[in-house]
Structure formats: C-alpha cells, structure tokens
Amino acid sequence: MEYEPVIGLEVHAQLRTQTKIFCGCSTAFGSPPNTHTCPVCLGMPGVLPVLNRKVVEYAVKMALATHCTINHVSEWARKNYFYPDLPKGYQISQYDRPIAERGYLDLEIDGAGKRVGITRIHMEEDAGKLIHDESAPVSYVDLNRAGVPLIEIVSEPDMRNPEEGAAYLRRLHEILVYLEICDGNMEEGNFRCDANVSLRPRGEQTFGTRTELKNMNSFRNVQRALEYEIRRQQYVLESGGTVVQETRLWDDARGATSPMRGKEEAHDYRYFPDPDLLPVIVPGEWIDEIRKTLPELPLEKRERFIREYDLPAYDAGVLTASRAIADYFEAVATRCSKPKAASNWVMGDILGHIKEDKLEMEDCPVSADDLGELVRLIDDGTISGKMAKDVFEDMWLSGKKPETIIGEKGLAQITDTGALETVVDEVLAANPAQVEQFRGGKEKVFGFFVGQVMKKTKGQANPGLVNEILKRKLSDL
Amino acid sequence: MEPYYLTVHELEGLLRAGETTSLSITEAMFRRIDDVEERIHSYITLMKETALEAASASDQRRREGAARGPLDGIPVAVKDLICTMGAPTTCGSRFLERFVPPYDATTVEKLRDAGAVILGKTNMDEFAMGSSTETSYFGVTRNPWDLERVPGGSSGGSASAVAAGECIASLGSDTGGSIRQPAAFCGVVGLKPTYGRVSRYGLVAFASSLDQIGPLARDVEDCAILLTVIAGHDKRDSTSLSAPVPDYRDFVGRSIAGWTVGIPREYFIEGIDPAVAAAVNRAVAAMKDLGAECREISLPHTRYGIAAYYVIAPAEASSNLARYDGIRYGFRSPGERELLDLYRNTRAGGFGPEVKRRIMIGTYSLSSGYYEAYYKKASQVRTLMKQDFDEAFAACDVILAPATPTPPFRLGEKTDDPLQMYLSDVFAAPANLAGIPGLSLPCGFTVNGLPLGVQLLAGHFEEGKLIQAAAALEKALSAEQRRPAL
C-alpha cells in the first residue's frame, strides 16, 4: 500500500526583547548561570508577573506577516507541571484565547506554490535550563532563560513530505529574522521546532496515529528526523503493527528517533486562566500602527527584485535571504546602475568572502557604496574585470576606496589609443618571425602579440583596444 | 497609663502633643507581649530590634518636625504571609520556616514609608487555609476572650494581637473571610477592601483572584487610617486598580440619614446562632435610629457561594503552591536521589494536612474531564453572584449581614470536620467572589462574654461608604469598653 505522510510543525521562537516577558531581567544569552534573575523569574513567594508590552507588539508583527486574525482580547493561562527548570511549577502561556489564529504561509517548492495553514500563534514564557554533571549524580539549574519571551507558531497538518516541512521552517525562520523579532539561532535555541507526523493510505481522508518529534536543532535535522520517522512508521504499518501515539526524541548521532520515557508523557496540564494577569487587549488602532512598521517581507522583496532589477529568480532568492544582504545589494545596484553585475559581485565575491571569514553581513568590510563604484569603474572601462578582482581583494583587506587603490598602484587601464599604437608597433617590430608566420596564415600567433602587448603594459592595456589596433596594424602590413 | 489598648488616632494625638514617644509606646508593647504572648501566641516572629530602631527613627523625625502622618511611630503587626525584607515570612508553614524574603511587600513598604513600627509577624493558618488558626505549623493561637476558643482564621494572630493589646493595629489578608471572621471572633474591626484596591505584590498567594490585604484595628477610624496608607495602584501588581485613593478618615463621622441598608434574606439560614441573629437585629435597630431605611433584599445565589468558593480557591491554590518544590528555597526532603521522590517527599513533609487537602481538591477540579463540571461551573456561579450584588447595590447603599454563623468555637471543635470548618466562611466568601469590600464590626457579646460581629458590604470601590456606615453604626452601638480578662 502507498502511504501519504501528514506533517504539522510547532515552532518556538524566542523574541529578541531587551528584557524578559514578566520582569525587568535581561534576556542576554551566554551569561554566567543565574545572573539574569530576580524574585519574579525565580518564582519566589508573593511576587507577581507584569507584562512586557514589547512582547505583544512582536507577536502582532508575526501575526500580520503570516496573515493571521488577531484577537483583540486574548488571555493568559497557566500550564501546570513540575520540572526543576520551571520555577513556579507552571508556565504562563495562552490556551483558550491566543493572540492570533487562522493564518497561512505561501511556499515555493521546485517552482510550485504551496500554502501551509497556521492554526495559531500564542505568547508564553521560556523555562530555564538543566545542566547535568557528567561526573556526579547532580543536576544544576540555570534560570537565566526562565521568563524569556517566546511565541509558539502552530501549523495545520498541511505538509506532505519532509521537503515541504523544511521549506516551511525556512520561510518561517526567514520572516522572523526579517521582522527583527527573533535572532533565529537554532544552536542557541532561539528557534526550536517540534514535528507531528502520521501516515495514512494515499487517498484516505482521516489521519493516522501521530507521533511527536522533538530535539531537532537544525533544518537539516528536522528533515532527517521526518524522513526517518516516515520510514519507521511505514515499516511498522507494513509489518502489520500500529503506530503508538508518543513523543519521540531525535538522536542526531544515531540518526534515529526513540520514544521519550512514558512517565514524562502522562501530563494533564490543568490549564486555567492566570488570575495574576489581565487579558491582553489589542485595539485595532494599535494593530494599524504596528502594520505601518512592518518591513517588506522576503517573498515580496524577491518578486520586486525580479521585476525591478530584471534578475533571475535564483539571484533574487540568494539576495533576499536576509535583510542585510538585500539592503546591501540594493545600495550597490543603485550606485553602479548595473543590477546583474552588482548581483554577481554580491553573490560571488561578497558572500564568498563573508562565509570564508565567518563574518556577519553587517560586518562586511567593503561598503556597498565602494563596491558600487568598483562595478562602475569596470563598466566605464577604467579597469578591466580581471584587475577589479585584485582591487577587490585589496578593498576587502584594507577597507580602502577603489579609486584610492587604483591610484596608488597605478592600475588604471591604458585606453590612450596613441600610446597603445606605439606599443603595438614596438612589439611587431621586435618579432618579425612571428609577423611572417601570421602573414603565412598562422592566425594563432595573434594571441602571442596580445600577450606581448599586455606584458609590456603590465596588464594595464585595455584588451578590446589592443585587439582592435593589432588587427588593423596586421592587415595594414 | 499603658498605651497598648489605645487606638491609632489616640496615640497620634499623644505623639503630636509630645506626651509620649514612639519608643516608649513600642517598649510598652513588647512588655505587654511578654506578659500575654505565652497564653495567646499571636506572633510567629517578633522583630524587636528593628522595631525599636524604627521607633527611635520616628521620634527623631518628630523632633525635627518631619513626622509623616497618622501612622508615624505607631506599632503594628503584619500577618506572616506578607513579605518583610530581612525578617522571616513563614506563611505558618514548615515549608517556609526559614524563608527570609529579599523584598518587602508593597503594603509593608507603604507602612514603613508612613513611619509605622512593625512589631512582628502574626500567626495564621498554614498558607491562609483555615478558619481557626489551628493549621499553623507553629502552634495554635488562642482567643483572648476565652483561651479555650479559637481566634478565627486565617488571620487569627492579627486579630488576637489587636484584641489582646499586643499591637495597636495589624494587617491581615482575606481570601474567603480571613480578616472579617477573626475580627468578629476577637471583637475587633476588620476590613477587606475591593479586589484590586490594595496591591498584592509580596502577599504570598493563596487564591490570586480572591486575596486582598486589609487592616484589623480597634475601631473604624483606625481601619480608615490604615487603608488610606496601603491602598492604591502598584505597577508591580497588574490586578491593582488606579482609582484615586481618598483620605478614608474623612468618611468617619458623616451621617447616614436617608441611606438604604439592605438586609439579605438568604443570610438568615437555619443553623445560625441565636446570639448572632440577635446581634444583627441590634445593628438593624441602630441603623434605623440613625435615620437609615432598612430593607429586606435578596441575593439569590448566596447558597452556592461556599461551594463555588471551595472550588475556585483550592484550584488557584493548587497552582500557586506548585512553586514549593524544594528546588530553590524552603523545606527540602534530605537525601533524595530521584527527582520524583524529591518532589513527593518535600511536599509531603513541607505541607500540613489542610494544605494537602486543598491542593488535592484544586488539582482534581482543574483536571481534564472535570474542569467544566467544577472550575468552569464555579466561575459561572461567581458571575451570577456578582450580578446579585450589582442589582442589590443599585437599590441600596450598603448591605448589613451577619459576619459568621456562630460565635467563636472551641479549639479542636471543628478540626476533624473540614466541612463544618468551611461553613464558618459562608457569610464572608460571597464578598471575595464578587470582589466587593466588606467590614466586620463588633456588636456586643454573648451571655458567656464572647464577642459578636456584624458585617457591612458595599459596592466596588465604595470603601468610603463602608467606613461611613460602619463608623456611624459603631458610634450608635456605643459598644461597652470591655477588655479581655488577661
């Protein structure tokens, strides 16, 4: 029997607010344990949460970017369970009435469009972290992360293969980073994904029993875990077994999923409205205000790049992968008025160097303005494309302007026809044997003459001009 | 003259006139505490050293002409679930026996800013769960009027301390009657403000949607003075409200002629003690003498109040008390090697039986499959009770009702029968469910010399009206100045 996978994804994104969701502690990552804590995020007796409004603003941004309906009144709820990283013994989250519902995300997979529904977006607080001592039966609790704001984005079970799952995640990630509401660093855990997977006979309408996959900390691992789990379920079903509804952990090293211990599974979270917090009121005017601050989103930008700069879809995709790259490209293109050339330089030289030097786009040592000027200098013939590569290397290392480097090294191309004619004459006079060969029909010798001219001009001669003069002189002879 | 039975406003006058000092009053209070505390046990922790320092500082301010208001230099007590920076805050529980908060509750901060001298932390039912102060891990508190009887609860120590002259006034907390019932049992005035009138920051939560801090004192004017100090919006408590705070003392002494006083039919249930009914009748008669019209009204959903209360309060408590897990502070079962054992044995050893009972009730009523039938239903009842009161206050200024069904009962009388104990709150809990302010006022004694109380209720943020009516009634009843024989 042929089975069809059904996949839904739950993404937890840490919001990059300065302070935590219910207290004034810093959200900075990587500080010594328990240094960003206070009585509120430690869950001391008698303290109360006070909502950070920025969290609501960011959640609304994401809701608008994913076409969700925003609830003007939403409600906080307590999710009750015991764990040492959860100081209050409950997580403040949203349950019955989340901040936003019923949105979607449009994907493009191998040129085909695919729409994935978004069930809901809700706000909640993160838990702390346990650090297990390898050498002793001791665990330590670090509560720096406790109370860092999260949004959970729950998709509809609309994806049918691991590629769609990965594409959905990449799009979601891209939007969060574009909106500048999430750092999107999967290793630091500020973008986390759980997956629900089930199989059903192709053509069947009802869903099969699903498993929930956790512990996948990269896009690649999500895809691998989904692939593994689909194969596993298929094997179970084909050998006459039934899939057990359970949570399974992805083991990166083994490349397999395995069930979480049963005890931790039997949770009844006993959700109820949190009496310490008032409902979240988001009036229409506030939504309108937030809407005005939304940047152009990646998909819109991509389409505009194709339209406005006449770029291939591939280029537009690479150049809009982040806001920083897109902004950089646009500045280069504006300066040189040669969008395709600008695109080649940004995609090739800039991104290549960035990757090689392990830099962020923001730290690029060559300014967009200078790169634009370099491209312009090629275009007007001041330097050759080959020379430009050397100039660029110098710009990358020194941060100097292209004109400065060209001036310092005397690299400007010789485009003075008179000067070049003199050189050509010299070369022809110095190599009579080769001139004879050429006249005898051996046209390959032409390249030899070009090489000699370039050698004499230290490569600064404009190659087009050299060709032209050489041809004329040789036929005149 | 010993100052320990004087009121805040009497002492304020003496201090202002320079006839006494805060230090001498405070020292007298500690002498009194030394005399009677062994028999009453109002306090869990005494803060003598810091109290004497605060008293001296107050005297210094007064000498410099910088006294801060009516509470400056006045010795008060604070219920032991209101956090005091640097002094233990135990909530009457073994779990927090050694817990010293690194922060003050907003109300404590306000008391300190007003110059009040905090004498100590008063005994209470564990985590405020009880109506007799018998569930405290630190032993029972006795009623100063009859040492064989309970002082009420859960703010039993705050009430007994005022009644026994162990403080001038105190703060308690009221979730389902925990200020008003002990005030009635101990013959003092107790006021539960409107939900949101006083900040809950630093009040260790029992049931967050019901808890309010309020004053207990010798008379209505003292309650008004304390309420004025502790009320107001607090940015650290999202549920505190920003309605302006008047000087509630201004309402004392104003006439209530022409007012309508509602007498709710449903509060005169079978089983109400004849002495309590007689006290209410005396109050009704006094109200009429004051020119108020007393009219029978109906609060039809009253009979569901205690049931709704005992679903909602334990539900919230089951979640609020989850933080006591032995991981970060408080009691921890020693030597555990497995996480589940650590949780189980810490909570089994840290909490007393009544707290465990309520955590179980609350956990049950929130659990999947029961939520709709219990918690949700109770929330709906709550809405109906609010509507009852809204309708009532559309037609009357205040409501007069019994505060408790009986006079103070004997120690141990109800400890084996939780249901009987819970019914002690039957007249008090509706005000918490509706969020309205309530006050209990002494109204004579039983033939055996036990104090009786009546209760006044007013609409949301109508503490002014409540105080105006209570002060007038207090004066009209011209309560005989009896003191407990200690």
Q: Kindly report, residue by residue over A217-241, the tens digit of the pLDDT.
A: 888 899 999 999 999 999 999 998 8
The answer to whether residues A278 and A403 belong to one domain is: no
A46 contacts on B by Cβ (under 8 Å): 81-83, 89, 101, 105, 201-205
Q: How far is CA A348 from CA A309, A329, A392, in A?
A: 18, 12, 12
Active site residue B158: no
Domain assignment of residue A224, yes or no: no
Residue B238 predicted with pLDDT over 90: yes
Last residue in a domain, options A353, A381, A409: A409
A313 touches chain B (CB under 8 A): no
Q: For chains A and B, count residue pairs whose Cβ atoms are closer than 8 Å.
A: 105
Q: Which chain B residues are Cβ-neighbours of A128 within 8 angstroms? A: none
- The pLDDT tens digits for A87-105 are 999 999 999 999 999 999 9
Residue A72 and residue A185 in one domain: yes
Catalytic site residue from B136, B170, B178, B440: B178
The conformation of residue B114, written as its DSSP 8-state character, comes to T
Residues of A in contact with B363 (CB under 8 A): 270
Is A239 within the bounds of a domain?
Answer: no
Residue B21: the pLDDT is 97
pLDDT tens digits for range B90-132: 999 999 999 999 999 999 999 999 999 999 999 999 999 999 9
- The verdict on a CB contact (< 8 Å) between A87 and B323 is yes
A394 with A314, same domain: the answer is yes
Give yes or no for A275 touching B (CB within 8 A).
yes
Contact (CB<8Å) A45/B236:
no
Per annotation, catalytic residue among B22, B42, B154, B160: B154
Residue of B286 and A415 predicted with greater confidence: B286
As a whole number of angstroms, the distance between CA A56 and CA A66 comes to 15
Tell me phi and psi for residue A289, to 5 degrees.
-60, -45
Which residues lie closer than 8 Å to B132 by C-beta, 6 or more apart?
B125, B140, B150, B151, B152, B153, B156, B409, B411, B414, B415, B421, B424
Check residues A448 and B16 and name the one with the higher pLDDT.
Answer: B16
Q: Is B235 assigned a catalytic role?
A: no
| Cβ neighbours, 10 Å, residue B416 | 8
Nearest CA in chain B to A52: B238
Of A45, A46, A268, Cβ closest to residue B367:
A268
Q: Is A39 on the interface with B (CB under 8 A)?
A: yes
Question: Three-state SS for B268?
Answer: coil
Find the angle CA(B141)-CA(B350)-CA(B172) to the nearest 5 degrees: 40
Q: Give the count of beta carbons closer than 10 Å to the beta carbon of residue A113.
A: 8
In this prediction, residues B321-340 reach a mean pLDDT of 94
pLDDT in tens, B462-472: 999 999 999 99
> What's the alpha-carbon Rg for chain A, to the nearest Å?
31
For B367, the closest of A44, A47, A270 (CB atoms) is A270
Sheet holding B438-445, edge to edge: B43-46, B117-122, B75-79, B169-174, B212-217, B189-192, B438-445, B451-457, B398-402, B260-264, B293-297
A100, A157: one domain? yes
Contact A80 B239 (CB under 8 A): no
A80 touches chain B (CB under 8 A): yes
Residue B22 is among the residues annotated as catalytic for this protein? no
Q: Is A5 near chain B, with CB under 8 Å?
A: no
Q: In the listed set A409, A442, A460, which residue is the last one of a domain according to the structure?
A: A409
Is B75:B167 a contact under the CB 8 Å cutoff? yes
Q: Judge whether A61 lies within some domain.
A: yes
Q: Which residue has the tokens 């320079």?
A: B18
Residues of B in contact with A96 (CB under 8 A): none
B323: nearest CB among A43, A272, A275: A43
**Set of chain B residues whose Cβ sits within 8 Å of the Cβ of A51:** 238
Q: Is residue A278 part of a domain?
A: yes
Mean pLDDT to the nearest integer, B395-403:
96
Q: How many Å apart are CA B121 and CA B82, to the nearest integer?
A: 8
Find, among B343, B277, B268, B276, the residue nearest to B302 by Cα.
B268
Closest CB to A272: pick one of B200, B202, B315: B315
CB nearest to A141's CB, from B103, B237, B327? B327
Residue range B97-107, pLDDT digits in tens? 999 999 999 99
List, in sequence order, every beta strand (DSSP E) within B98-157. 117-122
Amino acid at A222: V
Give the C-alpha separation, B270 to B465, whole Å.
Answer: 30
A46/B203 Cβ within 8 A: yes
pLDDT recorded at residue B292: 97
In terms of domains, do A58 and A90 share one? yes
Q: Are A386 and A454 part of one and the same domain?
A: no
Question: Is pLDDT above 90 for B16?
Answer: yes
For B160-183, the DSSP string reads: HHHHTTS-SEEEEEESSSTTHHHH
Flag whether pLDDT at A412 surpasses 70.
Answer: no
A372 vs A328: CA distance, rounded Å = 10
Q: Are residues A65 and A137 in the same domain?
A: yes
DSSP string, B196-225: TTB--TTBPPSSTTT-EEEEEESSHHHHHH
CB contact under 8 A, A270 and B368: yes
pLDDT, chain A, mean: 89
Give the dihedral sign, CA A176/A178/A180/A186.
positive
- Tokens encoding A316: 């537009």
String of b and e for B300-323 (b: at least 16 CB within 10 Å)?
ebbebbbebbbbbbbbbbbbbbbb
- Is A24 within 8 Å of chain B by CB? no
Q: Which residues of B touch A137 (CB under 8 A)?
A: 337
The overall average pLDDT reported for chain B is: 96
SS3 string, chain A, reads CCEEEEEEEEEEEECCCCECCCCCCECCCCCCCCCCCCCCCCCCCCCCCCCCHHHHHHHHHHHHHCCCEECCEECCEEEECCCCCCCCCEEEECCCCCCEEEEEEEEEECCEEEEEEEEEEEEEECCCEEEECCCCCCEEEECCCCCCEEEEEEECCCECCHHHHHHHHHHHHHHHHHCCCCCCCCCCCCEEEEEEEEEEECCCCCCCCCEEEEEECCHHHHHHHHHHHHHHHHHHHHCCCCCCCCEEEEECCCCEEEECCHHHHCCCCCCEECCCCCCEECCHHHHHHHHHCCCCCHHHHHHHHHHHHCCCHHHHHHHCCCHHHHHHHHHHHHHHCCHHHHHHHHHHHHHHHHHHCCCCHHHCCCCHHHHHHHHHHHHCCCCCHHHHHHHHHHHHHHCCCHHHHHHHHCCCCECCHHHHHHHHHHHHHHCHHHHHHHHCCCCCHHHHHHHHHHHHCCCCECHHHHHHHHHHHHHHC
> Residue A130: closest CA among chain B residues belongs to which residue?
B327
A88–B323 CB contact, under 8 Å: yes
To the nearest whole angstrom, how far is the Cα of B272 from the nearest Cα of chain A?
A: 33
Looking at the fold, whether A312 and A274 belong to one and the same domain comes out as no
pLDDT band at A415 (very low <50, low <70, confident <90, very high): low
Confidence of residue A26 (pLDDT cuts 50, 70, 90): very high
pLDDT value at residue A134: 86
Q: Are residues A177 and A282 in the same domain?
A: yes
Tell if the CB–CB gap between B208 and A276 is shorter than 8 Å.
yes
Q: A45 and B96 in contact by Cβ < 8 A?
A: yes
In this structure, which amino acid lies at residue A278? L
Per-residue pLDDT, A262: 56
Mark whether A339 and A372 lie in a shared domain. Answer: yes
Q: Among A44, A76, A92, pick the best mutation site for testing chain B contact (most B Cβ within 10 A).
A: A44
Instruction: Determine the Cα–Cα distance for residues B20 and B436; give it in Å rounded to an integer.
Output: 39
pLDDT tier, A363 (very low <50, low <70, confident <90, very high otherwise): confident
Structural domains of chain B, ranges and CATH numbers in brackets: 3-254+438-477 (3.90.1300.10)
pLDDT at A160: 94
A28 touches chain B (CB under 8 A): no
A262 — contact with chain B (CB < 8 Å)? no
**According to the model, what pLDDT value does residue A405 have?**
81
What was the pLDDT predicted at A333?
Answer: 83
Distances (CA, A) of A453 to A75, A427, A463: 79, 7, 9
pLDDT in tens, B370-392: 999 999 999 999 999 999 999 99
Final residue before a domain boundary, out of A409, A426, A456 = A409
Lowest mean pLDDT among B143-152, B236-245, B418-427: B418-427
Q: What is the mean pLDDT of residues A242-246?
A: 88
User: Does residue A262 belong to any structural domain of this protein?
Assistant: no
- The answer as to whether A422 is a domain residue is yes
Residue where the block lists tokens 């897109």:
A326
Cα separation of A115 and A156, whole Å?
10
Q: Which residues contact A98 (CB under 8 A, 6 or more apart)?
A: A71, A74, A120, A121, A122, A123
Residue of B nearest to A38 (CA): B102
Nearest CA in chain A to B362: A270
**Distance from C-alpha of B110 to C-alpha of B236, rounded to nearest angstrom:** 14
Question: For A267-325, how does the pLDDT look when each residue is reduced to its tens digit (9 = 90+)?
Answer: 799 999 999 999 999 999 999 999 999 998 888 898 899 999 988 988 988 899 888 89
CB atoms within 10 A of CB A245: 11
Nearest residue of chain A to residue B91 (CA atoms): A45
> Which amino acid is present at B276?
V
- Cross-chain residue pair A39–B89, CB shorter than 8 Å: no
- Omega before residue A343 within 30° of 0, cis: no
CB spacing of A80 vs B319 below 8 angstroms: yes
B327: chain A residues, CB-CB within 8 Å: 84, 87, 141
Contact yes or no for B187/B180 (Cβ under 8 A): no
Tens of pLDDT, residues B407-431:
999 999 988 888 888 888 899 999 9
Contact criterion met (CB < 8 Å) for A46 and B89: yes
Same domain, A24 and A148: yes
Choice between A98 and A254, residue whose per-residue pLDDT is larger: A98
A231 Cβ partners below 8 Å, 6+ apart?
A: none
Q: Is A231 exposed, middle or buried (0-12, 13-18, 19+ CB in 10 A)?
A: exposed
Q: Is B346's pLDDT higher than 60?
A: yes
In a domain, A229, yes or no: no
Specify the number of domains making up chain A: 3
Confidence at residue B474, expressed as pLDDT on a 0 to 100 scale: 96
- Burial class of residue A124 in the structure, from the number of CB atoms within 10 Å of its CB (0-12 exposed, 13-18 middle, 19+ buried): buried
User: Which one from B42, B79, B158, B170 is the annotated catalytic residue?
Assistant: B79
Cβ of B204 within 8 Å of Cβ of A45? The answer is yes
| Residue that has been written with the tokens 């007013």 in this structure | B458
Find chain A residues with C-beta within 8 A of B91's C-beta: 45
Asked whether the beta carbons of B150 and B134 are under 8 A apart, the reply is yes
Closest CA to B433 of B297, B309, B290: B309
Percent of chain A clearing pLDDT 70 (strictly above): 97
Chain A, nearest residue to B338 by Cα: A137
Inter-residue contact A20 to A125 (CB < 8 Å): yes
Domain residues for A300?
296-409
In a domain, A207, yes or no: no
What is the model's pLDDT at position A387? 80
Over residues A159-185, the pLDDT tens digits come to 999 999 999 999 999 999 999 999 988
What residues in B contact A90, CB-CB < 8 Å?
Answer: 319, 322
User: Residue A266's pLDDT band (boundaries 50, 70, 90)?
Assistant: low
Report the gap between the CA of B204 and the closest CA in chain A (Å). Answer: 4
**A3 in Cβ contact with A202 (< 8 Å):** yes
Cα-based distances in Å from B23 to B9, B36, B182: 17, 20, 29
The answer to whether B71 and B225 are in contact (CB under 8 A) is yes
Chain B residues in contact with A261 (beta carbon < 8 A): none
- Cβ distance B83 to A49 less than 8 Å, yes or no, reads no
A277 touches chain B (CB under 8 A): yes
As a whole-number percent, the residues of chain B with pLDDT over 70 amount to: 99
Tokens 């007689």, located at residue? B278
We report the CATH number of the domain holding residue A461 as 1.10.10.410
Judge if A328 and A181 occupy the same domain: no
Which residues from chain A sit within 8 angstroms of residue B198, using beta carbons? none
- CB contacts, 8 Å: B323 with chain A: 43, 45, 87-89
pLDDT tier for residue A150 given thresholds of 50, 70 and 90: very high
